[in-house]
Amino acid sequence: MEIKKLIQAEKADAMRLVWDVFLEFEAPEYLEEGINTFRDFINDENQINNLEMYGAYENGNLGGVIAIINEGSHIALFFVDKRYHRQGIGRKLFAAALRNSASEMITVHSSPYAREIYHKLGFTDTDVEQTKDGIRYIPMKYQK
């Protein structure tokens, strides 16, 4: 599995993977408003262009994506294709984000589905579950 920084031309494929994984694992727990909010975010080229993204590739196939913002202080997107779950890809993607983060603390708004995954990576909850624009999330932080 190769982890590499994505160039602009690779971001469309990354957003397709993000959308597919979101629909399978996240969307079933969201109201229509949240699904629409998420879709609008990943389809907003200005938003996506501001993300520093890393992809996990195996034999040329994109298996996972992590995207950070604010000099690496916040994880905006973190999705792994189900074919690659439980193979350490998420941990490798997170390690790439850590290496490229200038911040001592990294935050994330974890979905309820991903909560335990973030806990295994060393994140701690900073507040209770919240909902904004239909998106359910738990604020979390990781201290380097």
Instruction: Note whether 112 and 29 are within 8 A (CB).
Output: yes
The answer to whether residue 34 scores a pLDDT higher than 90 is yes
User: Which CATH number is associated with domain 2-143?
Assistant: 3.40.630.30
Phi first, then psi, for residue 89 (nearest 5°) are -65, -45
- pLDDT number for residue 13: 95
Confidence of residue 38 (pLDDT cuts 50, 70, 90): very high
Q: How far apart are CA 14 and CA 54, in angstroms?
A: 9
User: Mean pLDDT score of the chain, rounded to an integer?
Assistant: 95
**Domain extent listing, the chain:** 2-143
Instruction: Note whether 66 and 78 are within 8 A (CB).
Output: yes
Q: How far apart are CA 134 and CA 5, in angstroms?
A: 30
Q: How far apart are CA 20 and CA 4, in angstroms?
A: 21
pLDDT tens digits along 61-97: 999 999 999 989 999 999 999 999 999 999 999 999 9
